[in-house]
Structure 1
Amino acid sequence: MSSFSDKIVAWYQENKRDLPWRKTDDPYKIWISEIMLQQTRVDTVIPYYERFLERFPTVYDLAEADQQDVLKSWEGLGYYSRGRNLHHASKTVVDKFDGNVPSVWDEITSLKGIGPYTASALLSIAFQKKYAVVDGNVIRVLSRYYGIQDDIRKSTTKNRIQELTDDLIPEDKPGDFNQAVMELGATVCTPQNPNCNDCPLFVDCIAAKRAQTDEIPYKSPAKKIPHHQIAVGLILNQKNELLIALRPNESMLGGLWEFPGGKQEEDETLQEATARELSEELGVEVEVFSKFRDLRHAYSHFKITMHAFWCRIKNGDPKPKSSQKIKWVSLDEIDEFPFPKANKTLIKGLKNLDKDDLSHYLDN
């Protein structure tokens, strides 16, 4: 066991990537990086991390910020509950822990958005506490090293790997150890075509010795991802302003603005779906008169095709029946509001229209 940890920590210290969160021992900054890195590529995170800390350099700055400001800084990074939870947790750190990120398990896991994985990462990297981290990279490295051929989707397999990692992590430099195993999985022990010749564990790796790196780890086929048809309404008023709605905080993409609409139901045309959704969400009767654009977007567990239709209110005054609030905004000011990625794509298309184009849609 000491051979494993010694080899991998020595390799890490020699080969680790130059990443901004590795240049600080500030628990707050390490916390930000760990939240952003969840299910997100390092190259994607770096610019967001740097901009976020420029905007919110301390936990006090984050705690005092408006949620809309936080989500605007998070816009495009995805998994927006991470941003909402981070904002909520920063207030707890300030109010309950005097602005200090907790260094005790029970306290740090009491923060919203921090589960066992993030707590282990933070406590080991920021405070040098002996907690082993297991993510996809760690699972791959340990599965290959020990020749584990069980399905890694199963909790029993994950638990076994957690136990092995718990045994391997050293008292000295536990943060370096955790980062080393993850770094090895990200850069050397990759899912396809691992560079075994550059691996410090190559000599003792069972999968490498048996030429089974293509077979290990084994992951059973995922369930088919559902695909939904989404109909949204682009409603213009006489000032060429568009109606947008603020999603409830507790919903998916909560706290972000959107063009109102929703999922097409069975035996319903897209135009009918648009009219029904706007009736349910805004309490208005609309005329759906032309399609602006279709676009596809993939989330983690489902895919959508979004169909955007120009609409005109025939009866009623719009009210936020299923959203936090609604607002009329011009295209000049729309970038001030945080939107999901699919809506941002629509906005980009809308901005390519000139005012005469908008008037054309309004008059037809």
Structure 2
Amino acid sequence: MTDDVDEGSSSSSQASPDDVSEAVEADAPALPEDADAVREALVEWYEADHREFPWRRTEDPYEILVSEVMSQQTQLGRVVSAWEDFLDRWPTVSDLAAADRSDVVAFWTNHSLGYNNRAKYLHEAARQVRDDYGGEFPETPEELSELMGVGPYTANAVASFAFNNGDAVVDTNVKRVLHRAFDVPDDDAAFERVASFLMPAGESRVWNNAIMELGGVACGKTPTCDESGCPWRRWCHAYETGDFTAPDVPEQPSFEGSRRQFRGRVVRTLGEYDELTLDALGPRIRVDYGGEYGREWLRELAADLADDGLVEVEERDGEAVVRLRR
């Protein structure tokens, strides 16, 4: 096994959807019984709209490997130009294998891509593909992990995105998503079991892209659930409870789950309607409307907004009706 320079891991076992209660209930107590609906919602969300990085438009394992190594220490927006320049200079794995290592390291330095060792490892991996594999990339995570500097996470990413032959990715973003959405404990084995269970068989390319996109776009350290149209809001434990802490977010964010957040949701929701009764408004701003967070809670919230001159509350036929102040 070669040096592991990546963060994250992957899981290789996958359960049947029928096993949801027995296999993952303890690991993911907030996961609904209809796991297929969870899967479909995420894939549909991703396929409808996602960030258009150029390496998402290729299935070339060499091009994907370069993007993965560059992304380890560099913001994705900056990786695009470096990735394009790199492939202009060394368009194939054979070209990179034949290059002078000092030129590859110099490129890495000039583009501020982090540790130069990554350039050395990438160059050596290209030589391995040329010399040990006849110029053809291996296709499984296990074989890809034999390449210099390619740890489990990168091997799985290349297997997934190039060959649709990977396991479920479990990186920091995925852990954050699973912890918040389904109350998975901060335990690597639990994360791997749940991630593996959720990934549809034979669909590692779209699934791993989709769940990492969810963590990178909607469920970051400061989540943007409504703004990003998170497809898991209807099931999400954090969205229901307002507790958006996670393994890499040890303290509750100052905004998410707060009264200020729900005030904002009320104003945005009323902007779409002329007026709403409390019971019509409530489910539109929080999925757990009712009980502790029922009509009286919402009446107090609306009264606060009325005091601030943002909304008007009118009693009509025994019901409180709320609308934006004109």
* Band of TM-score, shorter chain: 0.5 to 0.7
Q: Secondary structure at the match of 1:203?
A: coil
Select which of 187, 195, 200 maps to 1:165.
195
Tell me which residue corresponds to 1:147: 183
**Distance in 1 (alpha carbons) for counterparts of 2:213 and 2:142:** 28
Select which of 104, 117, 133 maps to 1:70.
104
After superposition, the Cα gap between the structure-2 partners of 1:204 and 1:6, relative to the gap in structure 1 and judged at 3 Å, is: same
Tell me which residue corresponds to 2:255: none
Q: Could you list the runs of 5+ residues in structure 1 that have no partner in the other structure?
A: 151-156, 222-364
Shift of 1:32: 0.8
**Distance in 2 (alpha carbons) for counterparts of 1:45 and 1:183:** 16
- 1:277-328, Cα deviation, whole Å (9 max, x unpaired): xxxxxxxxxxxxxxxxxxxxxxxxxxxxxxxxxxxxxxxxxxxxxxxxxxxx
Tell me which residue corresponds to 2:231: 200
Q: Secondary structure at the match of 1:119?
A: helix
CA root-mean-square deviation: 1.7
After superposition, the Cα gap between the structure-2 partners of 1:218 and 1:89, relative to the gap in structure 1 and judged at 3 Å, is: closer
Shift of 1:220: 5.8
Q: Does 1:117 align with 2:153?
A: yes
Tell me which residue corresponds to 1:349: none
Select which of 118, 129, 138 maps to 1:82.
118
Q: Does 1:11 align with 2:11?
A: no
After superposition, the Cα gap between the structure-2 partners of 1:38 and 1:218, relative to the gap in structure 1 and judged at 3 Å, is: closer
CA contact (8 A) 1:189 1:196 kept: no
Shift of 1:41: 1.4
CA contact (8 A) 2:174 2:211 kept: yes
CA contact (8 A) 1:102 1:108 kept: yes
**Distance in 1 (alpha carbons) for counterparts of 2:213 and 2:141:** 24
Tell me which residue corresponds to 1:181: 211
Larger relative contact order, structure 1 or 2 (CA cutoff 8 Å, min sep 6): 2
After superposition, the Cα gap between the structure-2 partners of 1:132 and 1:149, relative to the gap in structure 1 and judged at 3 Å, is: closer
What TM-score, normalized by structure 1, do the two folds share? 0.56
Q: Does 1:136 align with 2:141?
A: no
Shift of 1:158: 2.2
Q: Secondary structure at the match of 1:204?
A: coil
**Distance in 1 (alpha carbons) for counterparts of 2:137 and 2:158:** 9
Amino acid at match of 1:109: S
**Distance in 1 (alpha carbons) for counterparts of 2:132 and 2:96:** 15
Amino acid at match of 1:209: E
- 1:51-87, Cα deviation, whole Å (9 max, x unpaired): 1001110001100101111011111110222111010
Size of the aligned set, in residue pairs, is 214
CA contact (8 A) 2:73 2:114 kept: no
The structure with the largest strand share of the pair is 1
Shift of 1:106: 3.2
CA contact (8 A) 2:58 2:162 kept: no
Shift of 1:195: 2.6
The structure with the largest helix share of the pair is 2
CA contact (8 A) 1:140 1:185 kept: yes
Q: Does 1:209 align with 2:245?
A: no
**Distance in 2 (alpha carbons) for counterparts of 1:58 and 1:29:** 8
Tell me which residue corresponds to 1:61: 95
**Distance in 2 (alpha carbons) for counterparts of 1:170 and 1:130:** 11
What TM-score, normalized by structure 2, do the two folds share? 0.63
Shift of 1:171: 1.6
Q: Secondary structure at the match of 2:234?
A: helix
Calculate percent identity across the aligned residue pairs: 38
Q: Secondary structure at the match of 1:103?
A: coil
Shift of 1:218: 5.5
